[in-house]
Amino acid sequence: MAQRETMRQIIRTQDIAAVTIITSHIAEDLEQLCDRVLVLNGGSVRFLGTPAEAVRVSDRATFADAVLHLSTSESSQ
C-alpha cells in the first residue's frame, strides 16, 4: 500500500524523540506503524498502551478485534 509506505517514510525521518500522531480506522496499519495506541469513544479515552497490551486486556485474538471491543465497550481500560 502506497499510503502505508508514505507513513513509514514520515516516521523514519522523525527524530527519535519526536512524537508522530497518526489517525486511522485501519487497525492493521496502526498495529504495524505505532508503538503506542490511543482508543477513543465519544471523546473519552478507552485505552492507551501498546497494540499487544490492547489484545491482552481486551481478551481478543487480534488487534483489530481488540480495537473494536475497546472502542465500543462501556468500561475504560
Asked, for residue 59, whether it belongs to a domain, the answer is: yes
Q: Which pLDDT tens digits describe the chain residue by residue (77 residues)?
A: 577 777 777 767 766 667 778 888 889 888 988 889 999 998 999 999 999 999 999 999 999 999 999 998 765 45
In a domain, 63, yes or no: yes
How far is Cα 19 from Cα 11, in angstroms, rounded to an integer? 9
> What is the sign, positive or negative, of the torsion defined by CA atoms of 50, 48, 35, 9?
positive
Does residue 32 sit within a domain? yes
Cβ–Cβ contacts within 10 Å for residue 57, how many? 14
Set of cell numbers at residue 74: 462501556
31 in a domain, yes or no? Answer: yes
pTM for the full predicted model:
0.73
15 inside domain: no
The tally of domains found in the chain comes to: 1
* Residue-wise pLDDT tens digits, 54-72: 999 999 999 999 999 999 8
Q: Give the separation between CA 70 and CA 77, rounded to whole angstroms.
A: 8
Range of the domain at 39: 22-77
Query: Has residue 9 been placed in a domain?
Result: no
Secondary structure (3-state) at 63 = helix
Give the number of other Cβ atoms within 10 Å of residue 58's Cβ. Answer: 21
